[in-house]
Structure 1
Amino acid sequence: MKYIGSLLLLILFIYNPLSAQRIHVMSYNIHHGANKQEVNTLKEIGLFIKASGADLVGLQEVDSMCNRSGNEDQMKKLAEITGMHYAFVRHFAYDGGAYGLGILSRYPISDVKNDRITSLPKGTEKKSLALLSAKISLPGKKEIIFSTVHFALDQPTRITQSLETISYLKRGLPVILTGDLNSEPGQQEILQLEEGHANIGLEGVNVLTYPDDKPVKRIDYIFVSRDDLKKVASSVVNSNIHHSDHLPLMAEVVLKK
């Protein structure tokens, strides 16, 4: 009986999903739900995400009730297609609605934040963009911070945004950060993030993400807080998905218990 009891405990340990924090993550700039030809592809994006098996998805360039995208609440629609929880925050009002960031999660979402990072697009007027983060309740009562961001086109602003992002995400929990950072590996803003976060997929083959048809650079990222990452099981850029002007980046990561 003692042997049988020990065997049952071993089986429960092996098959209990609570013992392993294996997470499928995606970062995807969806180009307001349209491909490069401005054809609406929101449904195709939703079906792709659903079929991908992603647990957590960080989305950039998301519209909410904008004229150009058919006055649709894009995150609500994607949540309906995928069956996932969702959150949306705006960068700013745009075209009759709002333009911003979204996340999809297979697990419950709470404590959604719209932290503001510096944006100096033109002139000297200081503006801001969104940094979307939320607390995700994983199986086993483990909580993490999942976040997505879209950095500026000019490097001085990106360097500031990188430091602000690091500061905002210090919330005492493991962090997964996704985003279109408009920056290639090795630049200062990326190196700043790498000081405390693993840059997932950096050493992989075919990691270029933009543009979607003939990619020439990597500007889309997944980062995981270095102290909380056990291993990267896989990472891939889906080069055959052309629903946006970016390619989706996916990774399977295992967090420490």
Structure 2
Amino acid sequence: MKKILRGVLVLCVLAFIAFVVFYFWASSPTQSQEDYAQMITYDYKPVITHDSIYSIVTYNIGYLSGMTNNRPVDRTKAFLESNMNLVLDQFELSDPDIIVFQEIDYDATRSYSVNQQDEIAKLGYPYAAKAINWDKHYVPFPYWPLKTNFGKVISGQSVLSKYPLSDHERIVLSRVGDNPFYRDAFYLDRLAQVVTVNLDGREVKVINVHLEAFDKPTRAVHTDAVLKLYRQYAKDYPTILIGDFNSDPEFETPTINKILSQTDIGNAAYTLDNHANTFDTADPFKRIDFIFYSKNTIDYVDGRVINSFAQASDHLPVEMRFRLK
């Protein structure tokens, strides 16, 4: 009997050690910190078809998982390739000058290790800024069944442009304070990605954000931080604050109202009577993706939520066309 108990105890100790080793390996990064913010130049020639009107799109691409995002389902490679082809076709039609992404995968098991930024850049976007915000050897989510775990994840936020980019910054926003340690170890960084776009000799600041989704107090802190960042740049540059703010104006005490209430900040494809919802794509019921701009330096031409991207992601993209004053 003692031998059996000793054997069980040894097995329990070994299992615990294996779990601890797995935990620290799985939650550790695969990349060096120096690689988390990169400027990339591709050998593609941009086709610029406008005169003085520029266009910019924000798209939480949800790693092309459509309405299966964060759900415990198998995603075939063919499913993701079909969504990629839809996105490529739609961007070829809309032909924006600048595309801003959130939740774009660079090398992740869940998306079959396809570098989605590289693939979309082939449409004729020679300039890219890449900011990694999720880098783990193995993400054990969704929790069950195990075969639906994300596994290795290298993902983040990107800016693709037909115009030269410079002065790239990756600004990490505050973490959720009351996350348990085991959740926080696998949680992504929330970022403000700042880059300068040279539009025919004029420098424009683009601030690409992906704010906290699940904890409202943290999202409020993030909103204050990015609004302060916007103010810092808007004093000297035409400035666009853009991305997934994870707040709908219809929420109870919505954090997005901190920005919507600023009378000198414009808002593309949005009115009080028509929020033009962007989430989810099966039946859009929330507006959480926005393009804000400095009214004193940017002349708003028009904007829209682009419904033709269908369910390639769980978000719809937002487009703004504009002139510089």
Q: TM-score, normalised by structure 2?
A: 0.66
Give aligned-pair identity as a percent. Answer: 23
Q: How do 1:89-108 residues align onto structure 2 when only pairs under 5 Å count? A: 89-94=131-136, 95-108=151-164
In the TM superposition, what is the alpha-carbon distance from 1:79 to its structure 2 partner? Answer: 0.7
Q: Secondary structure of 2:226's partner?
A: helix
Is 1:83 aligned to residue 125 of structure 2? yes
Q: What residue is the counterpart of 1:178 in the other structure?
A: 242
Q: What residue is the counterpart of 1:222 in the other structure?
A: 291
Deviations 1:57-110 (A, max 9, x none): 111111111111111222122112343422211112134341211111110111
Q: Which consecutive unaligned segments of at least 5 residues does structure 2 have?
A: 1-49, 69-74, 137-150
The two structures, once aligned, show a CA RMSD in angstroms of: 2.3
Q: Secondary structure of 1:81's partner?
A: coil
Q: What residue is the counterpart of 1:113 in the other structure?
A: 169
Q: What residue is the counterpart of 1:200 in the other structure?
A: 268
Q: What residue is the counterpart of 2:102 in the other structure?
A: 60
CA contact (8 A) 2:59 2:100 kept: yes
Of 85, 90, 113, which residue of structure 2 is paired with 1:48? 90
CA contact (8 A) 1:144 1:174 kept: yes
Q: What residue is the counterpart of 2:225 in the other structure?
A: 164
CA distance in 2 between partners of 1:225 and 1:233 (Å): 13
Q: Secondary structure of 1:119's partner?
A: coil
Q: How do 1:3-14 residues align onto structure 2 when only pairs under 5 Å count? A: none
Q: What residue is the counterpart of 2:281 in the other structure?
A: 212
Q: Which consecutive unaligned segments of at least 5 residues does structure 1 have?
A: 1-15
Of 224, 234, 243, which residue of structure 1 is paired with 2:302? 234
Say if 1:136 and 1:130 are closer, same or farther in 2 by CA, change over 3 A.
same
AA at the equivalent of 1:137: N
Is 1:150 aligned to residue 201 of structure 2? no
Of 42, 59, 64, which residue of structure 2 is paired with 1:33? 64
The higher radius of gyration belongs to: 2
Q: What residue is the counterpart of 1:255 in the other structure?
A: 324
In the TM superposition, what is the alpha-carbon distance from 1:213 to its structure 2 partner? Answer: 2.1
Deviations 1:204-234 (A, max 9, x none): 746111111211111110010232222x221
AA at the equivalent of 2:211: F
Higher strand share: 1
Deviations 1:3-33 (A, max 9, x none): xxxxxxxxxxxxx94xx4x221111111112
CA contact (8 A) 2:197 2:203 kept: yes
CA contact (8 A) 1:75 1:87 kept: no
Q: Number of residue pairs matched?
A: 236
Q: Secondary structure of 2:309's partner?
A: coil
Q: TM-score, normalised by structure 1?
A: 0.83
